[in-house]
Amino acid sequence: MKITLRLIVSLVLAVTSVTAGFSLYQVDKEKSRMASSLERRTSILADSLRESVAYLVRRGLSARLEGLVVRFGNRKRLEGIAVFDMDGNIITATPELEPDIPQPFPEAVKTMLSNSPSSRLRDINGKETYIYVLPLKSKGKTNGAMALFNDASYINLRLKEIWKYNLLRFLIYTVLIVLITLVVVRWSITGPIARMAQWMREVRTGKDKADLSRFPRGDILSSLINEASHMAKSLTAARAKAEEEAKLRFRAASLWTAHRLKEHMRAELNGKKLFLVSNREPYMHEKSGRDIRCIVPAGGLVTALDPVMRICDGLWLAHGGGDADRETVDAYDKVRVPPEEPAYTLRRVWLSKEEEMGYYYGFSNEGIWPLCHITHTRPVFRLEDWVYYQKVNQKFAEALLEEIKDEECPLILIQDYHLALLPLLIKEKRPDARVALFWHIPWPNPEAFGICPWQQEILMGMLGADLVGFHIQFHCNNFLDTVERFIESKTDWEQFSVTRGGHTTLVKSFPISVSFENFPDTEAARKENRSLREQLFRETGLHAKYLGVGVDRIDYTKGIPERFSAVERFLEKNHEFIGQFTFVELGAPSRTHIKKYHDLIAEVEETVERVNWRFQTKEWKPILFLKAHHTHEEISRFYKSADLCMVTSLHDGMNLVAKEFVSARDDGDGALILSQFAGASRELTDALIINPYDIEEMADAIYRCLTMDENEKKERMARMRHVVRENNIYRWAGDLITALARLRPSSCME
């Protein structure tokens, strides 16, 4: 009944809308037509009388003028004519009309002053009257005015008739529609559905002889009836399999999306808040003249975790490094982000210049970073840096403990090597906390890690966590090897866990990824990307047939000089591509306070200058180095336009650039050259996997990308897009947070 009522109401509303809209349109058109016709007839009559009236006025022939007015004043719908002198007073007028005309007549005065005809609607003696006034001229001089008064009331009468007839039509249509709808719904829908429901109830309650003959063949539900009969026969078997199939569906899982992650996190977290801690903040406020602008710092960590925090409305604790960061927080050092659509809270921790130099630039990036990346860069360990590293970790711990003081069994996700001591500092004060540490960079073998003078302190700090995550299993293996070598503990290689002092730490791999817009590869996307490429060429002044792209934070682990050398060698070996291929490097300066990074920028710029000097022409250059902090939108344009992307890391935990490039290629085109020493190479096996130390191999890979068969290129990209689509950032976050939420420290056990 409710469905029928909703259907009838919907149809009535639709008919009402159509009828009202059509009536408004019809009335408006009819009113315009009739008004236009009235104005046209009046102006024609006025023009025909104008010269005669002007002549009689100039000559002062009042009797003849009065006769003319009387003779023409009784035409159909013409109420009368009036002639006025220069003061707007009546010279002569239709007798029946004259008493109702004010003197002086404003419209006549206005017309003579403007020296042009005018018209208006006015109520005269209770009747709507159309007044048309025009100046009287004789020998170029205005000597009065003439007004024609037309009955306009017939227009409203006609419009009322239209509304009346359309209302009648509406009532007739409504009654017919309601009756027909009731008959059709009852006959073809609700009746058969009611009988079908009764039959299914009989089947569900075990009446094996449920009668199907009551349903007429050829009925609108005949297909459903046939399928229902087959369903009844297999109902018992289906019930037996239902639970197992549900489990399989949940484990196999369809595509992870932001919505699915949100629902998953709601179920897993059960209303609990997620606390995320990192050195780098997701949003930084900087001064730009008198204004303050909000920027997103470069790096894979922010790219990966910002979508997660948007979903869970948690709290992100990070170092406030922007020169306007203090001006944008509240009294508790907090600000809601992102600014355009606040979704979670950012709490900033303030560091002095000395703390930042010692903890971040010193111990973290001159010590741990080169220690964990096998790039033949010697780590530098200084006692004063280690002291600052401990001090800053303690400062983060105090801020975090303040935020979780009212939380029961809080969930804490700590990010990266800057905060290796934080898990233990938290656990000592809050043993009920569930703490995970995700290590975003590689973990070296025990021999390499043994260089660090404070190896045991770092390992014990990390083992304070309930869960330690790495990008790939190889790094998990190295970590357990290192713990066995330097820490007295029990290592379980089957469960991948470490037990020390009654506390167990799980060690698992969680390959990080990017979000993936699940758009099909279409010809429209290919056309759009070609147009985008032409636009980029115009903006950058490039003149080339083929385009390569690299996107990196300028770091010695990224293999940027080696990449440029490969471009140089490619042009040496393949002269036909000189003037045809340009490689664009989008490089974000980083850690320029460290001499090694400062020297690296100089080396990169020298390499670019050398290669360009050798090959460039008046309108073309082989390498375009764009050194700046680029927005995601700017980078995406290059991803979509490039023929190939080069990721030549000398050593990398994952490298999200490779996955970002694949995700951006909604046209199914493009090729990826990927270092075997990047974690992404374990998943994106359809990329051209290269050794970044082998310049010849990289040069040949460039040539192969540019000459690869289109079908092969698209098949490779399709397979890589499938991998990134299935293993996207939402799956990574779901797996990691699920593992964290299901941890059960002893103090949280019921």
Residue 142: Cβ-neighbour burial (10 angstroms; 0-12, 13-18, 19+): middle
* Residues 135, 123: Cα–Cα separation, whole Å: 22
Q: Are 543 and 537 in contact (CB under 8 A)?
A: yes
* 2-157 and 274-350+392-446+460-509 agree in CATH topology: no
Centroid of chain to Cα 537: 26
Three-state secondary structure readout of 171-229: HHHHHHHHHHHHHHHHHHHHHHHHHHHHHHHHHHCCCCCCCCCCCCCCCCCHHHHHHHH
Give the least confident one: 161-170, 513-522, 542-551, 731-740. Answer: 513-522
Higher-confidence residue: 471 or 16?
Answer: 471
At 303-360, the pLDDT tens digits run 667 877 887 788 999 999 888 999 999 999 999 999 888 989 999 999 999 999 999 9
How far apart (Å, rounded) are the C-alpha atoms in residues 215 and 680? 59
Q: Which pairing describes strands 490-492 and 497-500: parallel, antiparallel, or unpaired?
A: antiparallel
Question: Has domain 523-727 been given CATH number 3.40.50.2000?
Answer: yes
Q: How many C-alpha atoms does 126 have within 13 Å on its Cβ side?
A: 0
Where do the structural domains in the chain lie, given as residue ranges? 2-157, 212-252, 274-350+392-446+460-509, 523-727
| Cα–Cα distance measured from residue 390 to residue 378, given in angstroms and rounded to the nearest whole number | 22
**DSSP state string for 95-162:** TTTGGGS-SS-HHHHHHHHHTS-EEEEEEETTEEEEEEEEEEEETTEEEEEEEEEEE-HHHHHHHHHH
| Closest C-alpha to 162, from 22, 288, 355 | 22
- What is the third-level CATH fold of 2-157? Beta-Lactamase (3.30.450)
Separation between Cα atoms, residue 177 and residue 8, nearest integer Å: 8
Judge whether 465 and 412 are in contact, CB under 8 Å.
no
Report how far Cα 112 is from the mean position of its chain's Cα atoms: 63
Burial class (CB in 10 A: 0-12, 13-18, 19+), 276: buried
How far is Cα 623 from Cα 583, in angstroms, rounded to an integer? 5
Most confident of the ranges 2-11, 237-246, 298-307, 623-632: 623-632
Lowest mean pLDDT segment, chosen from 79-88, 340-349, 564-573: 79-88
Residue partners of 21: CB distance under 8 A and separation at least 6? none
Task: State how far the Cα of 691 lies from the Cα of 649, in Å rounded to an integer.
Answer: 9
Of the segments 251-260, 265-274, 361-370, which one has the largest average pLDDT value? 361-370
Q: What pLDDT, on a 0 to 100 scale, did the predictor assign at position 247?
A: 43
Half-sphere exposure of 297 (CA within 13 A, CB side): 21
The mean pLDDT value for 92-120 works out to: 80
Give 640-696 pLDDT, tens digit per residue: 999 999 999 999 999 999 999 999 998 889 999 999 999 999 999 999 999 999 999
What's the confidence (pLDDT) of residue 85?
A: 82
Q: Are 698 and 562 in contact (CB under 8 A)?
A: yes
Tokens 């320029």 belong to which residue?
592
Least-confidence region, from 249-263, 324-338, 423-437, 578-592: 249-263
Domain 274-350+392-446+460-509: which topology?
Rossmann fold (3.40.50)
DSSP 3-state of 374: coil
Question: What's the CA gap between 720 and 702, in Å, rounded?
Answer: 18
**What separation in angstroms does the CA of 728 have from each of 247, 249, 261, 274?**
22, 18, 11, 20
How much is the pLDDT for 245?
42
Measured from the Cβ of residue 446, the count of other Cβ atoms closer than 10 Å reads: 17
Q: Is the pLDDT of residue 595 over 80?
A: yes
Name, of 161-165, 194-198, 518-522, the range with top average pLDDT: 161-165
Confidence of residue 231 (pLDDT cuts 50, 70, 90): low
Please state, rounded to an integer, the average pLDDT across all residues of the chain.
84
Beta carbons of 86 and 112 less than 8 angstroms apart: yes
pLDDT score for 206: 56
Taking each helix axis from N to C terminus, what angle separates 300-312 and 729-741, rounded to the nearest 10 degrees?
60
Distance between CA atoms of residues 379 and 56, nearest Å: 113
User: In which band, very low, low, confident or very high, does the pLDDT at 299 lie, cut at 50, 70 and 90?
Assistant: low
Q: State the pLDDT at residue 304.
A: 65
Collapsing DSSP to helix, strand or coil, 342 comes out as coil
CA dihedral sign, ordered 85, 89, 92, 97? positive
Which of 335, 327, 317 lies closest to 275, judged by CA? Answer: 317
| pLDDT tens digits for range 411-469 | 999 999 999 999 999 999 999 999 999 999 999 999 999 999 999 999 999 999 999 99
At 108 the pLDDT is: 80
Of the two residues 405 and 201, the one the predictor is more confident about is 405
Q: Is the pTM of this model over 0.85?
A: no
Mean pLDDT of 68-92: 76
**What is residue 273's DSSP assignment?**
P
Whether 551 shows a pLDDT value over 90: the answer reads: yes
232 pLDDT higher than 80: no
Q: How confident is the model at residue 241 (pLDDT cuts 50, 70, 90)?
A: very low
The mean per-residue pLDDT over the stretch 169-178 comes to 82
Residue % of the chain over a pLDDT of 70: 88
